[in-house]
Structure 1
Amino acid sequence: MTQGKKRVARRQLLQLGAAALATPALMRSAWAQDKFVCKIAHSEAIGSPFTNAFDKWVVMLNERSEGRIEAQHFPASQLGGLAQLLEMSRIGTIQVTAAGPDSEEAIAPEIAATAGAPGFIYKNEAHVDAVLQGDIGQEISQIARDKTGVEFIAYGEVGFRHLLTKDPVTDLDSLQGVKLRVPEVRIWVDFWKTLGANPTPLPYSEQYSALSTGVIDGLDSDYFSVLGFKWHEQARNVLPTYHWFLPKAIRMNAAWLDGLPADLQDLCRSSAREVFAEQRSINRAGADQALEDLKAAGCVVHPFPEDEKAKWEEKSAALFDQFGATSPETAQMIAKIRALG
């Protein structure tokens, strides 16, 4: 072999060797591009059925995607309060949060109606399922996508809300003037004002300190959250009003979701529906036990007779028309919800 041919052969060998060495790096680069970080952050209590469902979903996403999705879970307002998390999910700082559809009131009031506005709109859990697991649930997900940049990929729940107060509240008379924490959402403020309470909008994460310092006299919540956040340490009177059913939309940033390969988009949606269907069953089965746990912790549960509940419903009924006046779409949504009950 001539010297020239030797030099050419040597260059080819070096090039092949360099290519061989580069191949694993290229593969690692391609793999890195296929990994999608999914930050899941919400305000629900650690140990609640809702938070436990997210724990399960994180494992499911990581395993079923074979590592292509790296799901990370931040419960109990670790990354911010509800208002912050909602905005972060819209702009894509986080990929997923959970909130009642009423959180979209300012942008899409017709969606807010599905969170039970303005109270006593849902008759029972079967009514909730008929609304959210059917055509209405799909409709509000599309509205959310179009107006807020998030998709409601599934619906969990924290269930019916009840009153927790420092001093006993047993009827409308004893409710008058009671300072109740409410979310920073107009429909909740209007509901309690109509019934005669003194609603005080506060972030979710501030409720314990507000109870302890006397900023509020009580709050309304599901039993799991009362236990998880230990609000019963500061207020020990429970009135089982069943006045509000709070579904929780699993909100995924639509741009992030659209940027996934088709199979991972399907995985996000299908696995969320699977996990939160189970969460709803667990939540409903465990609500009675949670109330017993509150009793064991020293809470007093006061009766709420049907005739008293009827007075609350009658006094707040005008809010349906008031809330429906927000827009024709809102009035239509309320009518559709009530027709399924």
Structure 2
Amino acid sequence: MKRRTALAYLAATAVVSPMVHAQPSEIRPRIIRFGYGLNENSNQGRAVKVFAQEVERLSGGKMRVRAIGAAALGTDIQMQQALIGGAQEMMVGSTATLVGITKEMALWDTPFLFNSSAEADAVLDGPVGRKVADKLQDKGLVGLVYWENGFRQLTNNKHPITRLEDFQGIKLRVMQNNIFIDSFKSLGVNAIPLPFSELFTALETRAVDGQENPYNTILSSKFHEVQKYLTITNHVYSPWIVLASKKWWDTLNAAERKVLLDAAVKSRDFERKDTREEAARALAELKAKGMQVNELSPAEANRMREKLTAVHASIADQVGRDLWNELQAELAKIRNRS
């Protein structure tokens, strides 16, 4: 009798206890792997952190960004392919490395295209910038917003660049992008395409003599430790672009997409302000750390422009004359307003 009572009790508790002790299951947040090339303490790293915080805030914790910097997920090109294949969700990287995927991205590689950051903002955030970014969707990528990398400057270990002839024979690392390669070859440079992740070692071992990047990147990447001369050229305005995998983007609902777009705009505004403030500090710090800095004279800059005329024409042919003319019309409108 006692045994039957005990069995009955066990049977009852087996049914009842799950109801008594059950806890509401927690909804796991959607984890977004966001890759970038620079280190966590760079302007890029700080802006990714702002994006991550904003995504978590706007989604009420339902979406969380796992930021992975220092090229730990690969080079820009490798991450782009991971996004296209759906193996990674998001990244930020150079528009220059996208030219092989979407030819219209070559617009932003045009030497001496913008006279100021304000002009760049107006074009990149305007109809031309949006049109170019939207071209990525056919290739498996979604362009959200453009960030600022900044005007690019030259560094090298051989001698100061004060005139066009000083470029002759310098082994210069350039991005893996035909326009950059052609532009520097036309100036007499031995242009060597290398991924950014390999650049410091190449400079340190003298596999290349120099490189070109904005002040912020030169400082945060410690290129001053392996480079002696810095020449202010402002030869190209270099944007970054925040990208999402289209395969992944298509799985999101409208509310989730809005969270990401709103957070991207917030991070863009922060990043541009932060980058511009840092650029002035970075130049002063590079001088203090011993780099010899000189500015290319307007006359020599004009000589460079003349050498690059053919590059402009080739870019116009590559992206299409209609888009090129639309860009030039937009720039003319902006300059007339200022």
Q: Report the TM-score when normalising by structure 1.
A: 0.88
Alpha-carbon contact 1:102-1:109 (below 8 Å) kept: no
Question: C-alpha separation between the residues in 2 aligned to 1:54 and 1:211?
Answer: 27
Question: C-alpha separation between the residues in 2 aligned to 1:51 and 1:171?
Answer: 35
Which of 189, 204, 207 lines up with 1:212 in the alignment?
A: 204
Q: Deviations over 1:44-84 (max 9, x none)?
A: 23322221010121122223322211210111212212221
Alpha-carbon contact 1:122-1:338 (below 8 Å) kept: no
Which of 138, 153, 161 lines up with 2:144 in the alignment?
A: 153
Q: Against the structure 1 CA distance between its residues 279 and 313, is the aligned structure 2 distance closer, same or farther, given a 3 Å change threshold?
A: same
Q: How many residues align?
A: 321
Paired residue secondary structure (2:112)? coil
Confirm or deny that 1:254 pairs with 2:251. Answer: no
Could you tell me how far 1:21 is from its partner in structure 2? 5.4
Q: Look up the match of 1:283.
A: 275
Paired residue secondary structure (2:268)? helix
Which of 324, 328, 331 lines up with 2:321 in the alignment?
A: 331
Q: Against the structure 1 CA distance between its residues 193 and 64, is the aligned structure 2 distance closer, same or farther, given a 3 Å change threshold?
A: same
Question: C-alpha separation between the residues in 2 aligned to 1:196 and 1:333?
Answer: 30
Q: Look up the match of 1:97.
A: 91
Paired residue secondary structure (1:76)? coil
Gaps of 5+ in 1: 1-9
Could you tell me how far 1:13 is from its partner in structure 2? 9.6
Confirm or deny that 1:52 pairs with 2:43. Answer: no
Q: How does 1:178-257 map to 2 (within 5 A)?
A: 178-257=170-249
Q: Report the TM-score when normalising by structure 2.
A: 0.89
Paired residue secondary structure (1:142)? helix
Paired residue secondary structure (2:237)? strand
Q: Partner amino acid for 1:202?
A: L
Alpha-carbon contact 1:110-1:331 (below 8 Å) kept: no
- Supply the RMSD in Å over aligned alpha carbons: 2.0
Q: Partner amino acid for 1:139?
A: K
Which of 322, 330, 335 lines up with 1:340 in the alignment?
A: 330
Could you tell me how far 1:236 is from its partner in structure 2? 1.5
Q: Deviations over 1:81-100 (max 9, x none)?
A: 22211211222222111122
Question: C-alpha separation between the residues in 1 aligned to 2:287 and 2:128?
Answer: 37
Q: Look up the match of 2:5.
A: none
Alpha-carbon contact 1:46-1:228 (below 8 Å) kept: no
Which segment drifts farther, 232-241 or 258-267?
A: 258-267
Alpha-carbon contact 1:321-1:331 (below 8 Å) kept: no
Paired residue secondary structure (1:302)? strand
Gaps of 5+ in 2: 1-9, 332-338
Could you tell me how far 1:336 is from its partner in structure 2? 2.3
Alpha-carbon contact 2:155-2:230 (below 8 Å) kept: yes
Which of 135, 158, 163 lines up with 2:154 in the alignment?
A: 163
